[in-house]
């Protein structure tokens, strides 16, 4: 099926959606026909979700677009690529931070999508980001994915790195995208912003790479993904297992930060990839994961003084090293609203904690 056919069927589906939600001319035959139309629409089919296995364990499905910039097909070129993201998602938030830290606004476009709709996924609302995709006029991010592959039936995720020249997805794996943002576009940047010229001040400096990647591995499993394993556990045994692993890892991070060589950031004087990847989970902890994901044995602000100080240091930093990138990309209202929609689902957003982050001193 061509992309034009997919869009044509979806336009009919949208007309039916309007009829379905009106009070006019409604009958059982129309309902049957509309549900049939939905089943044929590649955009309105139910979205695949991260699976829960036989042991009630949440598992993160792998990303499906894994190309890289630069390459023969995807060279680093100014004005060619679009980065789709949302500020609710911690993985997309990482990309937003790196985008800001690197000053990539003149090199590629950033397009914000709104929070998840149960039927269609990420969408363009005009409330958070543009009303429609500025490249293709799409309403849902799934339409963009289907341009890359009309038969695509994987997860609709952000961040998504898109090539407007070839009209296709480059990559939707968050870790690989931030690695590309670290240095893929450096030839287009001033020398002082190029990773190769930063030495020990780079995001992945050679002298700590082994130690940092080791930390990133267990943090990814038990903290970044750990909060989801806790929040989406469907049995008490699974919940107990992962909530204990989560807080053991937070204790381990607190101890890590007690060492002089791990101050003021996770690996010393300079912000690294490890700080960026941990920040987007910890900044959401007290305002979302503690209550909505039942990660409520301890709070960062009350029970982890070193981790709390590290978090505030990043958030409130507005010097030349960060330019305020962490604070500018952190939107507590969107975070609380987004996680409430996923867990509670009745439109009620928690008021606290107040303040969402404590002052630096």
Whether residue 58 lies inside any domain: the answer is no
> In this structure, are residues 149 and 82 in contact, taking their beta carbons and an 8 Å threshold?
no
Range of the domain at 20: 3-40
Give the CA distances from residue 334 to residues 156, 170, 293, 317, 345, in Å, rounded to whole numbers and listed in that order.
19, 27, 16, 21, 15
Whether residue 68 lies inside any domain: the answer is no
Q: Dump pLDDT digits (tens) for 202-227.
A: 999 999 999 999 999 999 999 999 99
Residues 101 and 178 in one domain: yes
User: Which of the residues 228, 279, 290, 315 is marked catalytic?
Assistant: 228
pLDDT band, residue 37 (cuts 50/70/90): very low
Query: Is residue 322 part of an annotated ligand binding site?
Result: no
Query: Is residue 7 part of an annotated ligand binding site?
Result: no
Whether residue 277 lies inside any domain: the answer is yes
Residues 213 and 321 in one domain: yes
Residues 110 and 164 in one domain: yes
Q: Dump pLDDT digits (tens) for 52-93.
A: 554 555 455 556 899 999 999 999 999 999 999 999 999 999
Whether residue 224 lies inside any domain: the answer is yes
User: Which of the residues 87, 89, 295, 315 is marked catalytic?
Assistant: 89
**Does the active-site annotation cover 228?**
yes
Whether residue 138 lies inside any domain: the answer is yes
In this predicted structure, which of 2-11, 248-257, 347-356 has the lowest mean pLDDT?
2-11
**Number of domains, the chain:** 3
Whether residue 24 lies inside any domain: the answer is yes
Query: Is residue 8 part of an annotated ligand binding site?
Result: no
Cα 162 to the chain's mean position, in Å?
A: 15
Residues 98 and 151 in one domain: yes
Query: Is residue 280 part of an annotated ligand binding site?
Result: no
User: What is this structure's pTM?
Assistant: 0.85
Residues 153 and 214 in one domain: no
Predicted confidence at residue 210, as pLDDT, reads 98
Query: Is residue 158 part of an annotated ligand binding site?
Result: yes
Residues 213 and 119 in one domain: no
Pick from 163, 197, 231: which residue ends a domain? 197
């Amino acid at each position: 099926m061509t992309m034009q056919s997919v869009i044509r069927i979806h336009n009919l589906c949208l007309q039916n959606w309007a009829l379905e939600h009106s009070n006019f001319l409604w009958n059982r035959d129309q309902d049957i026909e509309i549900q049939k139309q939905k089943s044929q629409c590649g955009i309105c089919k139910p979205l695949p979700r991260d699976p829960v296995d036989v042991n009630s364990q949440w598992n993160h499905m792998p990303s499906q677009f894994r190309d890289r910039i630069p390459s023969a097909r995807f060279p680093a070129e100014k004005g060619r690529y679009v980065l789709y993201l949302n500020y609710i998602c911690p993985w997309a938030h990482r990309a937003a931070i790196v985008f800001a830290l690197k000053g990539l606004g003149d090199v590629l476009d950033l397009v914000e999508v709104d929070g998840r709709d149960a039927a269609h996924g990420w969408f363009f609302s005009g409330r958070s980001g543009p009303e429609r995709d500025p490249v293709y006029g799409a309403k849902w991010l799934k339409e963009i994915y289907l341009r890359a592959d009309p038969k695509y039936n994987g997860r609709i995720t952000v961040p998504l790195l898109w090539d407007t020249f070839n009209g296709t997805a480059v990559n939707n794996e968050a870790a690989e995208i931030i690695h590309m943002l670290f240095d893929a576009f450096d030839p287009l940047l001033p020398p002082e912003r190029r990773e190769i010229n930063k030495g020990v001040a780079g995001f992945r400096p050679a002298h700590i790479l082994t130690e940092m990647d080791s930390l990133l591995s267990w943090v990814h499993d038990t903290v970044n993904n750990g909060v989801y394993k806790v929040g989406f556990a469907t049995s008490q045994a699974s919940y107990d297992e992962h909530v204990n692993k989560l807080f053991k890892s937070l204790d381990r991070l607190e101890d890590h930060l007690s060492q002089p060589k791990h101050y003021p950031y996770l690996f010393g004087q300079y912000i690294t990839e490890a700080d960026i990847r941990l920040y987007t989970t910890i900044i959401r902890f007290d305002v979302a994961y503690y209550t909505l994901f039942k990660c409520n044995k301890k709070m960062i602000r009350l029970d982890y003084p070193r981790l709390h100080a590290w978090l505030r240091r990043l958030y409130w930093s507005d010097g030349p090293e960060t330019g305020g990138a962490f604070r500018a990309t952190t939107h507590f209202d969107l975070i609380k609203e987004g996680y409430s929609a996923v867990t509670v689902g009745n439109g009620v957003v928690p008021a606290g904690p107040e303040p969402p982050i404590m002052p630096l001193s």
